[in-house]
Amino acid sequence: MKYIWPPLFDSLEERKKKIADGLAAAEKGQEEIVLAEKKAKGVLKDAKQQSSEIVNLAQKRANEIVEESKDTAKKEGERLIVAAKAQIEQEIQQAKEGLRKEVADLALSAAEQILGAEIDKAKHQDIINKASNQLG
């Protein structure tokens, strides 16, 4: 038995050591899984935070674009108003010029009537007053 027991004990010790190593490796694997889960949670948390920041930046930029569009539209509206006022002023000037021509024609017509008709001083003054009233 002296020859049987030492190799048997050695085999048992070797088997015991392999089992202990396997259990240690399994325990170490569990610890690594826990660490990996913690790391994954941290990465997920960072990703959520980054995505939130990206969304906030995008929303801020969208608001800036809206404000820029409002400013552009306001400036364009003001430009159109100025152009319309200038056009109205031009049309007013054209109307005044037209009225001046009509007044000149009326004055000429009144003068022709005065020269062409025999009238007294009172009628002459009356025609001038009527022409003056027509001028405004």
* Tens-digit pLDDT string for the chain (136 aa): 667 777 777 788 888 888 888 888 889 889 999 999 999 999 999 999 999 999 999 999 999 999 999 999 999 999 999 999 999 999 999 998 888 888 877 877 877 776 766 556 677 778 778 877 777 6
The SS3 assignment for 4 reads coil
The tally of domains found in the chain comes to 1
Give residue 47's domain range: 5-135
The Cα–Cα gap between 16 and 111 comes to 140
pTM for this one? Answer: 0.46
The Cα–Cα gap between 36 and 48 comes to 18
pLDDT value at position 11? 83
pLDDT value at position 53? 95
The Cα–Cα gap between 83 and 70 comes to 20
pLDDT value at position 116? 65
8-state DSSP, 117: S
